Structure 1
């Protein structure tokens, strides 16, 4: 194996280990990995067609792919979307704390307000209230069901602190987050 291919493989293994460390916090990912391991243990080995290709070319291509895929720090809304997918509706303050794990920084005099503004302006999220506390959720996804509400608290859900007339507008995704969400 050439030095280039060996170097590329080492770099990819390091990236894989780093990403897997972050993913291990996700219960679904842990279940996925357990299933993969079980399948691998009972399946016969399969020789990859790529193995017959020149290693130096594979090394260059894989290094380029790895650099493109894993060196990019996600935007604030991208990182927030990952957090919401993993944890459900989340307050601005909690998103601000967790977003750091993705290498994302939120600057300015008031990072909480800046993050809230970024999420609101992205067009992907809406502000909802859980027990009177502002949380963020996806505009294009229904709220978690009543059975999963236990994981995020009890009580009724109020959309963006709006009246009944405004709640239906928030349900259709027209809530822009509002300025009080930064206090979450």
Structure 2
């Protein structure tokens, strides 16, 4: 399964592509960002993000796109800008027939680090380790996009766990091998469960 992760933003929109094998082994394909200037007109900035997204879709032909769910936890201007970018990215994916999956920041952090409160540096280090890279992807938006892709791959119904794209059902079995699915949860899986429960309470 090829997954395109997107960390939406108008100033910097992160993109990350991974191939996820059936054994949940993630393989790095590419990562980068599309940036715009705050001084530019809003319509031009939104168009640039849309065109960048279309380019990534055409180049890498992902099976699914994973995007960060927008939370109003920062300044109003930041949230609005993120929402603008999210909208055009989602529309571009839908236009290309690519399914879209949403993950909260806490879910992504818990997936790759085991803690839903991990900082960006910790996420970057774990992404580097998981993908067996020589260095942490830069800028942080690219690393976050890769983390989104990894998170979705480990939870996806396509490989037997997580979000089932056909039923919209979520489970908490993220990266649990089938032989352990009925047993106790690891710290990372408990963190996933806590993050999902907090997300549902906040909806």
Q: TM-score, normalised by structure 2?
A: 0.25
Kindly name which structure, 1 or 2, has the bigger radius of gyration based on alpha carbons: 1
TM-score computed with the length of structure 1 as normaliser:
0.26
The answer to which structure has the higher helix fraction is 1
Higher relative contact order (CA 8 A, sep 6+): 2
